[in-house]
A and B are shown apart, each in its own frame.
Chain A
Amino acid sequence: MIIKSIALNNFRQYKGAQPPILFSTDKEKNVTVILGVNTSGKTTLIQAFEWCLYEKVNFKTREVLNIEVAKSMDLYTTQEVFVEIVLIHEDREFTIRRTQKFTKSDADKLKIEKSVLKIQYKEDNGEQQAVPSYECDSTINKILPEALSDYFFFDGERIADINNRGDVVAAVRGLMGLDVVGEAKDRLDPNKASSVTAKFSKELDVGSDQKNNKLKNDLTDAQTKLDALNTRKNEAKDEIEYYERRKEELSTQLLANKDEKHNQERKLSLEKDIAQIAKNIENAENRIVKDFSVGALKFFATPLIYRAMKVIDEAKYNGEGIPEMRSAAIDFILERKKCICGCDLSKNEGARENILFEQSLLPPQHLGTVLHTTKDTYKRYLDESQGLYETVLGNHTEYRNNRNYLNEKMDELKNVSAKIQGNIDVAKIEQDYQKNEKTLKDKRDLLLKISSDIGAAEKEIAEIEKTIERLTIVSDKNERLRKCIAYAKAVYEWLKVGYDKQEKEVKERLLESVNNIFERMYHGKRHVTINDRYQIVLMTLLDNDEVKTDESKGLEAVKNFSFISGLVDLARQKAHKGNDVTDDEDIPVNTEPYPLVMDAPFSNADEIHINNISKIIPEIAEQVILMVMQKDWEFARPALEHKIGCSYSIEKINNSDTNSVVRRTM
């Protein structure tokens, strides 16, 4: 696939109809450079490709209509956004245009119509033919499947995780055409109940004996069981891959947060201490307030009480009355003329006079009793206020000490908190790690069990097939079916052997290609390996042992570039080899050379790496379209200059972020 041009109309910051950007299709000068400052619209160009082909956009606001155009629209008027790409695929020119209409239906509202995709292609005689609308999506898929597009249209930010994505295996198999072989293989697999081979087998005539015919049902059941087991096996493998990836992620996080863990534990302990100290302070405060409320009056009245008691002691009064006795009580006794001892007061004048004397000692006639009672009260007050000072002082000391302790702990907490980065909860990561380990073990055990069940199911199928084969009656129909089965099995074997061979070869060649490219981009002791998930791992020699190494952002960019470049290189090599069946041994894989369309590819690389990357890209890709910042371009230019077929510059109109134009500079 080679891209000839792209034309934009009102797409994001490209206001109005823009002249088409023509890309270099020259095999030698295969690089097109588009220079632009930040926010000028470099990323928008990449997004324009993806919107046109797959209606995919990564903008925060999903609307593709230019903001200035949207704002200036009159009520009930319509504006159109379109992106048109012209490309060559399998020697045929395609014009792909996606259009979307926007109507101002309200003062603040735009009615957005569904986008429409139209594809035309040029016949050999030069006539344009339209692809029926219902076939447009499948035509795009034919040209560049959406799942693979991220590997050819990418920006500097996305390249960072391009090799860590879960779909790398599928993408590599897809690019190398292995998925086609895989699908074909599955459809002929004799062990699959729904396969061509199994369907032929089902039709074999084993006579009218019910027992014999039951065997065919048993075979289907065993094949269905095996199908389910294989599906489960693949799921279990995917799950194991997921949990292995998760294990790696969690280990990396734990390693990176070793100090963080200590700090977080200290923080937790400090927070607990602080809560306890605050409680102690509150308790001391409460005790002080309570003691003070109860004892303050008596405490502060102590000097006055002493003085009052002295006055009472010095007061001259004769005798004291009966405590708590009231004068009214005496009046009552006198009136009833009977003493509490039972003496008749009307007949005993002496007793009556004695009672009258006692009455004279009682208030209000006499103060002696009152003073006596008051003195007792004062003594009680003095007793109660004794020790209040010491108690309050003790509580206050405890309060003050706790306050100081609290300040110390708060300062330490502040320091520890400052050291803790972000909101990483290391204890939670550790918990997740342990949980992940357990799940991983369970899944591995499950895989072992499924594999053993698969072995048993395959054996069962083979035995049933053998029995059916033995029971099959001799007839023309059966003869024909047996031939069909034999051909189906032969094609299946060819695909199976070819698939395994191709996959092994792809891996070996990809590793070789990626390593070659990596070595040309990076001059150091590291090299790369590719694991079973087609992920690149950087390795270095340490005491004669191969060990995994850390990656800086720049090195990560180089690593990922090597991976993408290796893939593109391999696809191109295979495409040039041809796609037709040439002999019985080799399966032709369906590949096509692809262009590399990259936005800010150098943003994380240093000047040496930019130079190295620039030297390699035009060699491995059929066509290169680069959106670059001026500052990066200075380092890339020396290596790329002789490969440039076209160059453009994006200019902001009136320095606006919403109106840019692409001008050709070469």
Chain B
Amino acid sequence: MESNNEQKIELNPDSLKILKNRIYLMERENHKTKKYKDNDMVERIRKLIEAEVDKNDN
């Protein structure tokens, strides 16, 4: 089944700001500590985004 996915997704400016802030701070911290590897960082960012999207939907 094909769908019409042309419509633009509206982003919540507050959520976007939170994500920008958290992702950057998370990266900054890890840059110093080197605690997490690349894959772990990707996973952490992914969870952060999902949590923010879910928060908005609920």
Contact = CB atoms under 8 A, between A and B. Distances in A.
Contacts, number: 105
Nearest to B25: A581
Nearest to A492: B23
A581 B3 contact: no
Interface string A461-499: 000000001111110000010111011101100110000
A666 B24 CA distance: 45
A323 B42 CA distance: 120
A78 interface: no
Contacts of B38: 187, 194
Interface residues of B, number: 36
A337 interface: no
Contacts of A207: 1
A62 to B, nearest CB: 26
A564 B31 CA distance: 23
Interface residues of A, number: 43
A561 to B, nearest CB: 28
Contact of B24 (A138, A200, A490, A587): A587
Contacts of A181: 24, 27
Interface in B1-38: 1-3, 5, 9, 11, 13, 15-17, 19-21, 23-25, 27-28, 31-35, 38
A467 to B, nearest CB: 11
A472 B5 CA distance: 8
Interface string A106-142: 0000000000000000000000000000010011011
B16 A141 contact: no
Interface in B38-57: 38-39, 41-42, 45-46, 49-50, 52-54, 56-57
B9 A472 contact: no
A584 interface: yes
A69 interface: no
Contact of A482 (B9, B21, B41, B54): B9
A488 B42 CA distance: 11
A183 B53 contact: no
Given A180-B24, A480-B53, A588-B24, A199 B46 contact: yes
10 contacts: A141-B34, A180-B28, A180-B31, A183-B31, A187-B27, A187-B41, A472-B5, A473-B3, A484-B46, A490-B11
